[in-house]
């Protein structure tokens, strides 16, 4: 980091550019709140641009965060000087805030997929899908919105004829303890664009915030319609084309 940024770390989050991550994260959280994705403080969105990751605070009303609430972390992470000391931040808020408990999960998307953004929702559509698909994966075929999802979240767009598979992991009492099982699911299902967490929600990533957002929208639509189809007794996987 340049010495001017060390002296004035707020320069990392203060910008007139509406597309600066510190401006975008509060805006995205407000729109996700109105979709029911980040109500009751949980869920959120992270953005990584090259060597900097922008992270929202934990346990606060996500629809009310402001740019000065944003944490900036170095990417890759810098090891803390001792195991008992806090993470290394490039910039942290002056308010008494802690970084999102989803940070290690967002890091899975950055490290394992080279993602530029990761969304975590507590959407009831995602949660219902994990309840109606009791196994290790959620699957659906023959839906137009499958075309809005990319292989591994980062590759080429799926075709209408591709089956969409999203792994499901079990929830843990603490969000950060999902890190290893999420990473294992990402390695076992390299073509998946997200990971569902049973009775909790979903993590979805993309090359940038736009792709993470639109893929989350497509997946949420697919979770919703598949739940409705299953409850209506309709098959969600077709063999014929």
Ligand X SMILES: CSCCC(=O)C(=O)COP(=O)(O)O
Query: Please, which residue, 59 or 155, has the CB nearer to Zn ion?
Result: 59
**Interface residue with Zn ion, options 12, 24, 38, 42 (CB under 5 A):** 42
- 102 labelled binding-site residue: yes
- 218 labelled binding-site residue: no
235: contact with ligand X by CB under 6 A: no
CA distance 56 to 71: 6
Strand, coil or helix: 43: coil
Residue 7 falls in the annotated catalytic set? no
The footprint of ligand X on residues 55-84 (CB under 6 A) is 56, 58-59
Q: Strand pairing of 52-55 and 71-74? A: antiparallel
CA distance 92 to 109: 22
**Greatest extent of the chain over all pairs of C-alpha atoms, in Å:** 63
- 118 labelled binding-site residue: no
104: contact with Zn ion by CB under 5 A: no
CA distance 156 to 24: 25
- Identified catalytic residue from 79, 144, 176, 210: 144
Q: Strand pairing of 164-169 and 194-197? A: parallel
| 73 CB burial (10 A radius; 0-12, 13-18, 19+) | buried
Stretch that binds ligand X, among 54-62, 131-139, 156-164, 202-210 (CB under 6 A): 54-62
- 142 labelled binding-site residue: no
Query: Residues comprising the binding site for substrate?
Result: 102
Kindly list the residues in this chain that would bind ligand X in the complex (CB under 6 A).
Answer: 40-44, 56, 58-59, 100-102, 120, 175
Query: Residues comprising the binding site?
Result: 102, 120, 122, 200
């Amino acid at each position: 980091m340049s010495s001017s940024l060390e002296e004035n770390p707020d320069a990392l989050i203060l910008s007139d550019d509406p597309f600066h991550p510190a401006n975008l994260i509060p805006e995205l959280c407000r729109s996700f709140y109105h979709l029911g994705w980040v109500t009751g403080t949980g869920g959120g969105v992270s953005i990584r641009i090259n060597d900097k990751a922008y992270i929202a605070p934990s346990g606060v009303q996500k629809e009310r965060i402001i740019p000065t609430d944003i944490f900036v972390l170095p990417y890759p992470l810098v090891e803390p000087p001792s195991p008992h000391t806090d993470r290394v931040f490039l910039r942290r808020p002056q308010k008494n805030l802690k970084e999102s408990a989803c940070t290690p999960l967002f890091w899975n998307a950055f490290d394992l997929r080279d993602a530029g953004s990761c969304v975590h929702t507590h959407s009831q559509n995602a949660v219902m899908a994990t309840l109606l698909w009791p196994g290790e994966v959620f699957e659906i075929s023959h839906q137009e919105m499958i075309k809005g999802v990319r292989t591994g979240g980062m590759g080429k767009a799926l075709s209408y004829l591709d089956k969409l598979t999203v792994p499901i992991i079990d929830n843990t009492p603490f969000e950060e303890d999902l890190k290893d099982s999420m990473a294992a699911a990402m390695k076992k299902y390299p073509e998946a664009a997200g990971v569902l967490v049973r009775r909790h929600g979903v993590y979805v990533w993309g090359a940038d915030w736009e792709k993470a957002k639109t893929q989350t929208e497509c997946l949420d639509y697919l979770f919703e319609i598949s739940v409705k189809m299953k409850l209506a007794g309709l098959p969600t996987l077709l063999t014929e084309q």
